[in-house]
Structure 1
Amino acid sequence: MKKYLIACLGNIGGEYAHTRHNIGFMVADTLAKTHNVSFSTEKLGDLAEIKVKGRTFILLKPSTYMNLSGKAVRYWLEKEKIPVENLLVITDDLNIPFGTIRLKGKGSDGGHNGLKDIQSQLNTQNYARLRFGISSNFETGKQINYVLGEWTPEEQALLPERLEKCAEAVLSYGLAGLQNTMNTFNNK
């Protein structure tokens, strides 16, 4: 059975639960709810497992906080003996319009501290990432407040459909492969 680690980035704690930076956790929760599985607290994060068509998707919500996500990702890749080619990291992105998703097979961290730490811990940029656009609708110097801020009512109304789309993209990544998933979901 082919295994995938789906590293869904966010910050632990109630004060971060509904913030833009926690989109990874939200996608993980959507997948878990859709497949009627629950998370258990393990070393360096909360985990849930989904089995679909001969594939196992291990959902990881790191408990290391966003900027130290790499430690949890590396640990679970090694523990589960999952090759980096079967890693998908889900994160927020300021450079993409709200709700737009982009999947890439590799790339720079783009200034994202969670990706920067993963890259450092894995010593490679060659891992897939699904970026969820949160837009850059903030004043100069207010970036931290924006990403750690809660969704607007307009965004909240659109989030459920966008989260479902991300969940579909995650499963497609494991079932149809990176290229097919990019062709189907990018910029949608």
Structure 2
Amino acid sequence: MFNIILVGPPGSGKGTQAKRMIQKYGFIPIALGALLRQQMVENGTNKRLIEPYINSGQLVPDHLSFELVKQLVQAQPADASFLFDGFPRTLAQVTFLTHFLKQCNAQIDGVIFLDVPHEVLLKRLKNRAAIESRPDDQDNNKIKTRMQIYEQETLPMVNHYKSEGKLYSIDGTKDVDAVTQSIESIMDRLRP
């Protein structure tokens, strides 16, 4: 079991890089944001609980996130390797994931952080809104809320993994292939 977290602000390119990592390394994705949006589109059992948070740019409450993550991990073989994308985002989620993985005789082996400045993120989000019509990318207030939450909630999580020596920061402003090469260089050092 080999587990990586891919983290970065909204619009940093996590989705693109996650797809490439899954394809190259065979990770099972735990992409909480995509799962939550899928629940909404498919009128999943949690749609009514999730929708107000997603549509306003807020984080979904931890108890829902924890349950979804547990279900996804427990549904896989015991030796599966996971790529966590968009989870954990807070220190409380880090604590949950650490304890949960420990119960599974596993741990987080590395955290890849896509670092992108705000002005670049705003341009990317507006572009994505035009292409994908995601409601959380279309409104400036929602984008601002997401950025504030990221800075308040997620940056402490990033700093936590940095203090543990598990954080690998990558310049996310480079072109997509250059970012992928940087990730692969890190993966080559981390993989057992």
Q: TM-score category by the smaller chain?
A: 0.3 to 0.5
TM-score of the superposed pair, with normalisation by structure 2: 0.43
Work out which of the two has the higher radius of gyration on C-alpha atoms and give 1 or 2: 2
Say which structure is richer in strand: 1
Say which structure is richer in helix: 2
Higher relative contact order (CA 8 A, sep 6+): 2
TM-score of the superposed pair, with normalisation by structure 1: 0.44
